[in-house]
């Protein structure tokens, strides 16, 4: 298994390098977040042993369990799935990044919880770039209000935006390019709201099927599960 995961990581990293070369970018600008949802902790340990340091989870309980089970200081933990206010208290002690902020109330809860333990947590505002009802994320017109609210916080850093493109078959993946491009344009249009703790440098977009197009359109974080760990364990 370790050889498979190590090789898979190398394959993904090669894809990132190639996409960056084609886009005239530096591969060091891209953070690979290995999304280990429904996978055992041993798979995370294997990937860690191969040099992977950023790990993401979709479910708060699974994130909590894995952070407790593998308290390796050198890991950066990412919450990339839907957020619930009552789950935030379970992750603030260890989580480093929360990608799925769509309302100011989540920032308020993170600030409250993180201030008690004097931690600063990196966050990304999720925009619904696909327009699909089943996808999470705020509307573009709501972003200004959220960013202005974030400017007054001390234990939250807004580091950029996150988006999930429409799921399409691999042969149709070019169709999602306008969605990634739009997220970058939204980010650039809101740079004027940057402050000491609002710095919109990061774009979390791109997964196993569409990471190359996301990188070409400006992604700085790709969230990859299947290409590293294989199909999900249900």
Render pLDDT for 180-224 as a digit per residue (tens, 0 to 9): 999 999 999 999 999 999 999 999 999 999 999 999 999 999 999
What is residue 37's predicted lDDT score, i.e. its pLDDT?
84
Whether residue 15 has pLDDT greater than 80: yes
Please state, as a whole number, how many other Cβ atoms lie within 10 Å of the Cβ of residue 148: 13
Take residue 160 and report the two structure tokens written for it: 């950029």
pLDDT at 3: 59
What is the pLDDT, as a whole number, of residue 83?
93
| Residue 179 near residue 128, CB atoms below 8 Å | no
pLDDT band at 232 (very low <50, low <70, confident <90, very high): low
Query: What's the average model confidence in pLDDT over 91-106?
Result: 96
Q: Residue 139's closest CA among 126, 122, 150, 149?
A: 126
156's enclosing H/E stretch is: strand 156-163
234: pLDDT strictly greater than 60: no
Burial class (CB in 10 A: 0-12, 13-18, 19+), 177: middle
Point out which residues pair with 200 in neighbouring strands. Answer: none
CA 102, CA 137: separation in Å to the nearest integer?
Answer: 5
- Residue 135: the pLDDT is 76
Q: How does the average pLDDT of the chain come out, rounded? A: 94
């Amino acid at each position: 298994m370790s050889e498979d995961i190590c090789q898979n990581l190398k394959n993904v990293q090669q894809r990132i390098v190639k996409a960056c070369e084609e886009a005239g970018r530096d591969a060091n600008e891209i953070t690979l977040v290995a999304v280990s949802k429904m996978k055992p902790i041993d798979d995370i340990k294997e990937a860690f042993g191969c040099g992977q340091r950023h790990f993401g989870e979709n479910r708060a309980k699974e994130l909590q369990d894995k952070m407790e089970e593998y308290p390796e200081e050198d890991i950066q933990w990412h919450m990339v799935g839907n957020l619930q206010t009552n789950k935030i208290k379970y992750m603030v002690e260890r989580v480093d990044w929360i990608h799925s902020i769509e309302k100011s109330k989540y920032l308020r809860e993170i600030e409250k919880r993180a201030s008690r333990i004097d931690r600063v947590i990196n966050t990304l505002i999720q925009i619904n770039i696909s327009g699909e009802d089943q996808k999470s994320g705020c509307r573009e017109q709501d972003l200004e209000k959220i960013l202005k609210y974030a400017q007054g916080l001390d234990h939250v850093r807004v580091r950029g935006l996150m988006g999930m493109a429409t799921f399409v078959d691999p042969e149709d993946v070019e169709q999602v390019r306008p969605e990634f491009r739009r997220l970058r344009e939204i980010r650039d249009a809101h740079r004027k709201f940057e402050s000491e703790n609002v710095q919109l440098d990061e774009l979390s977009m791109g997964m196993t099927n569409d990471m190359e197009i996301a990188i070409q359109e400006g992604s700085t974080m790709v969230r990859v599960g299947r290409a590293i760990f294989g199909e999900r364990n249900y």
